[in-house]
Structure 1
Amino acid sequence: MTEIQLYTKLSKLPPALKAEVNDFVDFLLSKKKKAVKAKKPKFGYAKGQFKMSPDFDEPLNDFKEYTE
């Protein structure tokens, strides 16, 4: 849909519906701004939330047949 087609449809609406369309357009624009302003996670933000088992680096016996 082109801008001209949209404007033509909009010009046919009564004033109350034009106000509603205006509010909806404002909502969409604010929604777009919020999506753009997503914050980047900071380094170390999840520190202490994950724990690794002490044997994490040990070889797995399940794959022993493939390493021989």
Structure 2
Amino acid sequence: MTVTVNVHQAKTHLSRLMERAHAGEQIVLAKAGKPYALLGPLPPSPTTRRPGRLAGECVGPEILLPLPESVLDAWEGS
């Protein structure tokens, strides 16, 4: 359901309008009788990320080993 309110009404009843928007209603804010802005619910937030979900799948234990001298020399430009 869409409701249109003017700016003065929106200022006076902002908390109420926010509750209605949070409940899924779309509210059109009008300025001088013309639609100016839309107040509505936010899209659902993405699923929460679980720490450690990919543990052991992205990087192997060899990442902790020292680099060979040849690789270090290549990085240092020697």
TM-score (norm 1): 0.34
Higher strand share: 2
TM-score (norm 2): 0.32
Higher helix share: 1
Indicate the structure whose relative CO is greater, using CA pairs within 8 Å and at least 6 residues apart. 2
